[in-house]
């Protein structure tokens, strides 16, 4: 096991900056997930750590070793690729044993390691088969098993579940999380799927445009996003965003949009005072918007008129899309007992104790009810 450190790491391809001044420490035994849209720099960061790309600037450490100039094979890592990269002419056993044979391990040790990994992944009955005889889920397990037998200091996984169907993905991500808990080894995982990130990582590093936006636990990333990108990227459906102004009426501060307004708690006035009269961005998550017939207890209601345009029945919940009186679309995740219908005009209930405000120019968080509650 080992700690991993990215110290002011940048990577350029000609004039394109793929990773820009990445500073990040991954603790020993941690499961860290890089997440972000295509081209954000997450896979490049992993490839830099693996030694598959050269660092343009900065340093990378695995444990106490600076590994910039150390060949990939000597970095004590194992990588699971999106394509699995299994040798088609070799059996499952031979695929899993190959790296150990290159290390000139004894045959008895190779047999013991492969057997142990196969038992752990429940693929003992597949050891004699060739990759073409395996399902996608079985190939994924073989690829993970090939990494396990090496007993590396760090596991690197580059979107290893992207080729699986939805049901297998759910099963496989649970298996990988369980494997991490059993091995206690440092895992660094790359995905564009925020559900994978939220369910698997002990911490998540959100990237965009080659820049690390925020790194934190899944809960904190979701509840306390530091900027508009993180707020809108983490969460499905995405956070609703509205142009708004902070106005003072009758010695009370209001958040005012084109379609609705609501008052702000006095505890937040000092925080928001510098933004009075200025345009800001209001963010509220779909689950904080409720059908007026099914309002949960303990919320602070703000009434927002809308017209239902789309309804998605999910079984355990209902997702509805609405338009405000000024035709801005917003999304709500509501009680499945709701009887709203398309075209219906309804006054939705926003929970004004669960909102976020962002600076329009910097797109950074200004403050929120949650942030204030955290400091009280």
Q: What is the pLDDT of residue 168?
A: 81
**Whether 334 contacts 294, CB under 8 Å:** yes
Same domain flag for 255 and 203:
no
Our count of domains for the chain comes to 2
Both 180 and 296 in one domain: the answer is no
The pLDDT value recorded for residue 273 is 85
How many other CB atoms are found less than 10 A from the CB of residue 54?
Answer: 10
Does residue 172 sit in the same domain as residue 38? yes
User: Looking at residue 1, what is its pLDDT?
Assistant: 64
- pLDDT tens for the chain, 376 residues long, are 689 999 999 999 999 999 999 999 999 999 999 999 999 999 999 999 999 999 999 999 999 999 999 999 899 999 988 777 889 999 999 999 998 998 888 999 999 999 998 988 889 999 999 999 998 888 888 988 888 888 899 999 999 888 788 888 888 888 889 889 988 999 999 999 999 999 999 999 999 999 999 999 999 999 999 999 999 999 989 999 999 999 988 888 999 999 999 998 888 888 888 888 899 999 999 999 999 999 999 899 999 999 999 999 998 999 999 999 999 999 999 999 999 999 999 999 999 989 999 999 999 999 654 454 544 4
Instruction: Clarify whether residues 217 and 78 are in a common domain.
Output: yes
Show which of 183, 209, 232 is a domain's final residue: 232
Q: End of a domain among 200, 232, 264?
A: 232
241 forms beta bridges with: 283
CATH of the domain at 85: 3.40.50.300
- Residue 96 shares a structural domain with residue 159: yes
Q: CA angle, corner 204, sides to 373 and 64, nearest 5?
A: 120
Same-domain check for residues 242 and 182: no
Q: Are residues 331 and 202 in the same domain?
A: no
Examine the domain organization and report whether 31 and 174 are in the same domain. yes
Domain co-membership, 66 together with 208: yes
What's the confidence (pLDDT) of residue 121?
86
Same domain, 218 and 296: no
Domain that holds residue 265: 233-375
Is 55:64 a contact under the CB 8 Å cutoff? no
| pTM listed for this prediction | 0.89
Q: Please tell me the distance from the alpha carbon of residue 290 to that of residue 328, in angstroms, as a whole number.
A: 17
Q: 224 and 315: one domain?
A: no
Domain boundary among 216, 232, 248: 232
Same domain, 238 and 219: no
Long-range CB contact pairs, 285-288, < 8 A, 24+ = 285/235, 285/239, 285/240, 285/333, 285/354, 286/235, 286/237, 286/239, 286/240, 286/319, 286/331, 286/332, 286/333, 287/333, 288/350, 288/351, 288/354, 288/355
**Which CATH number belongs to the domain containing residue 332 in this structure?**
2.40.50.140
The H or E element that residue 17 is part of is: strand 16-26
pLDDT value, residue 376: 44
* Model pLDDT, residue 371: 53
What six digits make up the tokens of 173?
A: 């991500």
């Amino acid at each position: 096991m080992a700690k991993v450190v990215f110290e002011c790491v940048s990577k350029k391809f000609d004039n394109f900056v793929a990773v820009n001044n990445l500073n990040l420490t991954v603790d020993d035994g941690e499961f860290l997930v890089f997440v972000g849209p295509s081209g954000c720099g997450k896979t490049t960061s992993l490839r830099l750590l693996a030694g598959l790309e050269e660092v343009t600037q900065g340093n990378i450490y695995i444990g106490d070793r600076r590994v910039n100039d150390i060949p990939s094979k000597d970095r004590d890592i194992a990588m699971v690729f999106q394509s699995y990269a299994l040798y088609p002419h070799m059996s499952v056993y031979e695929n899993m044993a190959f790296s150990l044979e290159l290390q000139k391990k004894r045959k008895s040790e190779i047999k013991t390691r492969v057997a142990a990994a196969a038992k752990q992944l429940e693929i003992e009955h597949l050891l004699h088969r060739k990759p073409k005889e395996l399902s996608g889920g079985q190939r994924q397990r073989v690829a993970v098993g090939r990494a396990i037998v090496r007993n590396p200091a760090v596991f690197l996984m580059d979107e290893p579940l992207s080729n699986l169907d939805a049901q297998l993905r759910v099963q496989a991500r649970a298996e990988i999380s369980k494997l991490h808990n059993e091995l206690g080894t440092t895992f660094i995982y790359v995905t564009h799927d925020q559900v994978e990130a939220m369910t698997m990582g002990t911490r998540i590093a959100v990237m965009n445009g080659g820049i690390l936006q925020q790194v934190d636990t899944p809960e904190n990333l979701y509840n306390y996003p530091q900027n508009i990108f993180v707020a809108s990227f983490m969460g499905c459906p995405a956070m609703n965003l509205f142009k708004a102004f902070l106005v003072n009426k009758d010695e009370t501060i209001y958040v005012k949009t084109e379609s609705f307004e609501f008052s702000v708690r006095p505890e937040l006035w000092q925080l928001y005072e510098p933004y009075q009269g200025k345009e800001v961005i209001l963010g509220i998550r779909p689950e904080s918007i409720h059908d007026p017939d099914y309002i949960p207890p303990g919320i602070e209601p703000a009434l927002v008129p809308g017209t239902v345009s789309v309804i998605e029945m999910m079984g355990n919940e209902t997702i509805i899309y609405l338009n405000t009186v000024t035709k801005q679309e917003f999304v709500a995740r509501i009680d499945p007992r709701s009887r709203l219908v398309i075209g219906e005009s309804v006054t939705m209930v926003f929970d004004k104790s669960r909102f976020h405000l962002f600076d329009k120019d910097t797109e950074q968080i200004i403050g929120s009810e949650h942030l204030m509650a955290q400091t009280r």
